[in-house]
Structure 1
Amino acid sequence: MRKKAIASIIATGALIISLAGCAGGSTDAAPTDDAKGADAGGLITIIVNDPANPYWKTEGDVAAAAAKELGYESSVGAHKGDTNTENTLIDTAIANKSVAIILDPANADGSIAAVKKADAAGIPVFLVNAEINEAGIAKAQLVSNNAQGAAIGAQEWVTQIGETAEYVELFGAPSDNNAQTRSNGFQTVISQYPGLVKVGEEVADWDRTKGHDKMQSLLQSHPTLTGVMSGNDEMALGAIAALKEAGKLDGVVVGGFDGAPDAVSAVIAGEMAYTVLQPVAVFSKKAVELADDYIQNGTEPEAEKQSFDCILITKDNADKMTEPFTYSG
């Protein structure tokens, strides 16, 4: 198996993954109400996407734990990808006199107005996990290095599937820039192997059920496929379920992305070839620390956009996933 150089994509960044603890917190769609008129350092409002997904639950839990550790109250809410709900949560954060907002934006374009509204109210906003398509409004935008993560995942996928195969791709939510960035990262590697032919692609919106249903459809159209590239673990796990139901999982190489606990278990069981760990626990904590530094000292982050490198998880190192989204290697 020849190895193609992808060093420009997967070069190690300055930010290294470290241990970060997860703590319990509310993940209802409406924010918790334990922090109105907050004491101590004030109220930090945390807004995630959908806590039904363990990735986003960890995002909220870690940020809330970090806020508590630094002496703040916290309120955790979820917009579930809806910009109207996100806007309402921002209004609530303003009404509750939040000292900062930690936001996983619902939409790269559609969330800009909500961030501007908070900024106009004098509340600093720190984005996590996803970016918006306008700079200079949020104090920081902290994301995984999606291009690097997609590249290391795709290279592992090629190593396992070989240089000749028919495969399909499950694409995340188009409103999230991460979906296209990952897809581009996959193609940067796979396009170097002419024998690897993509025969189908479906949008499954980061969702396990949709991943299952789209995989069923793809199997009907392409019964001889031997590979699945997935933009996240939830869609990959749905695809695995569909492949199992069809009796076709053996011989099909499925790649994931996130490092979710169920995906790590699937890797250990030999059902998923690999997953790519996003350091959500690291950058969620970092966002709160940046907010604290800004609140206490007026310190602006050194750079608005910051990316955190991902880690490839295979059978060889899956035992080092000691807590959800936490790598101890």
Structure 2
Amino acid sequence: MSFRTPFRTPFRKLLLTAGLAGMLAAGAGSLAQAADLIAIITPSHDNPFFKAEAEGASKRAKALGYETLVLVHNDDANKQSQLIDTAIARGAKAIILDNAGADATVAAVQKAKDAKIPSFLIDREINAAGVAVSQIVSNNYQGAQLGAQEFVKLMGEKGNYVELVGKESDTNAGIRSKGYHDVIDDYPDLKMVARQSANWSQTEAFSKMESILQANPNIKGVISGNDTMAMGAFAALKAAGRTDVIVVGFDGSNEVRDSILSGGIKATVLQPAYRQAEIAVEQADKYIKTGSTGQSEKQLMDCVLINADTAKKLETFALAD
């Protein structure tokens, strides 16, 4: 008599049940892990400033145990909205965002809030309060005044100069320009002969600078709303044999640091992009765990002047100790 037949079916069922339970447990674990996701959305990483933001946020999030979804909106508000839809669909626990427009972004951040996903803004503000949990931005006005004071000093308080302005829809462009002029305009012998937007672009700044220089060959200085435009302007000036023109930027990039150290661009203003992104992630983590950041929504971080005396301390939008 065989005893195998009566026990075969229950034993196989037991094995199948155990296997299924294991699969479900593994699946539940992966689902839980996938749910601990932070989405990081910035403008193009072609600009080292935004690349540093993404890297700072991503590394800090991973160190805190999160998965990351790093996305780029290229300053396109429609694309930004689609990427926020992606973050919502993926069940992100939080969104770290350097936004694509102070007005155009409000609805997208509200959409995330309605989906119970908090947003933590860096670098650029939006024109609404109570929609994002945090808006952590550089003190652009303070930084612009530092840059302008250095520019005035380098110019010897006189001469014709050009201003290159960032993207007009970006609040920072206007704030920096105001900070510059609230200092420079107090010196009547400093005369602005051209003011044009180069939309934060190095290529566009090169082209604009070529045209401005042809129309105004007697310029003595260029003050720029960011380092990328400063690099474009300096390249155009160098190509024209005008390395005597004083150029000052804003951001604190490694590229401008190297130019300062080699006697090219004269100064920039460091805004701590990397640390700003880290702080946003840290506040997101605290909010996820406790429901509060313990901070006010609007938070300003002071900027630092970078010139020939301090450039050696600069590395990836941060100052070495």
Report the TM-score when normalising by structure 1. Answer: 0.87
| TM-fit CA distance, 1:56 | 0.2
Q: Is the 8 A contact 2:207 2:236 kept in 1?
A: yes
Match for residue 112 of structure 1?
Answer: 106
Partner SS state of residue 212, structure 1:
helix
1:76 matched to 2:70? The reply is yes
Match for residue 241 of structure 2?
Answer: 247
Letter in 1 for 2:161: Y
- What does the per-residue CA deviation read over 1:263-283, in whole Å, with 9 as the maximum and x for residues that have no partner? 000111111110111111111
1:1-329 equivalent positions in 2, closer than 5 A = 37=31, 39=33, 42-250=36-244, 252-321=245-314, 323-329=315-321
Letter in 2 for 1:318: A
- What does the per-residue CA deviation read over 1:77-124, in whole Å, with 9 as the maximum and x for residues that have no partner? 000000111011000000000000001110000011100000000000
Runs of at least 5 residues in structure 2 that lack an aligned partner in the other structure: 1-29
Partner SS state of residue 162, structure 2:
strand
Report the TM-score when normalising by structure 2. Answer: 0.89
Cα distance in 1 for residues equivalent to 2:281 and 2:35: 12
Letter in 1 for 2:317: F
Partner SS state of residue 326, structure 1:
coil
Q: 1:136 to 1:316 in 2, by over 3 A?
A: same
Q: Is the 8 A contact 2:35 2:91 kept in 1?
A: no
Cα distance in 2 for residues equivalent to 1:37 and 1:90: 20
| TM-fit CA distance, 1:301 | 3.9
Cα distance in 2 for residues equivalent to 1:37 and 1:57: 29
Letter in 2 for 1:277: L
Q: 1:311 to 1:38 in 2, by over 3 A?
A: farther
- What does the per-residue CA deviation read over 1:141-167, in whole Å, with 9 as the maximum and x for residues that have no partner? 000000010000110111111111000
Partner SS state of residue 39, structure 1:
helix
Q: Is the 8 A contact 2:35 2:92 kept in 1?
A: no
Cα distance in 1 for residues equivalent to 2:279 and 2:168: 27
Q: Which has the higher helix share?
A: 2
Partner SS state of residue 33, structure 2:
coil
| TM-fit CA distance, 1:300 | 3.6
- What does the per-residue CA deviation read over 1:44-92, in whole Å, with 9 as the maximum and x for residues that have no partner? 0000111111000000000000100111110100000001110110000
Q: Is the 8 A contact 1:204 1:214 kept in 2?
A: yes
Q: 1:38 to 1:268 in 2, by over 3 A?
A: farther
| TM-fit CA distance, 1:249 | 1.6
Q: Is the 8 A contact 2:140 2:175 kept in 1?
A: yes
| TM-fit CA distance, 1:324 | 1.0
| TM-fit CA distance, 1:38 | 5.8
Worse-superposed segment, 300-309 or 182-191: 300-309
Partner SS state of residue 166, structure 1:
strand
| TM-fit CA distance, 1:297 | 1.1
Runs of at least 5 residues in structure 1 that lack an aligned partner in the other structure: 1-35
Match for residue 15 of structure 1?
Answer: none
Letter in 2 for 1:288: V
Q: Whose RCO is larger (CA < 8 A, sep 6+)?
A: 1
- What does the per-residue CA deviation read over 1:235-257, in whole Å, with 9 as the maximum and x for residues that have no partner? 0110011101111122x110010
Cα distance in 1 for residues equivalent to 2:147 and 2:275: 20
Cα distance in 1 for residues equivalent to 2:60 and 2:95: 13
| TM-fit CA distance, 1:221 | 1.0
Cα distance in 2 for residues equivalent to 1:41 and 1:86: 21
Question: Computing the radius of gyration over CA atoms, which structure comes out larger, 1 or 2?
Answer: 2
Partner SS state of residue 205, structure 1:
coil
| TM-fit CA distance, 1:258 | 0.5
| TM-fit CA distance, 1:37 | 4.3
Q: 1:281 to 1:38 in 2, by over 3 A?
A: farther
Aligned residues: 292
Q: Is the 8 A contact 1:37 1:97 kept in 2?
A: no
Partner SS state of residue 74, structure 1:
strand
Letter in 2 for 1:45: A
Residue identity (%): 49
Runs (4 or more) in structure 1 with deviation over 2 Å come to none
Partner SS state of residue 169, structure 2:
coil
Q: 1:197 to 1:213 in 2, by over 3 A?
A: same
Cα distance in 1 for residues equivalent to 2:292 and 2:127: 24
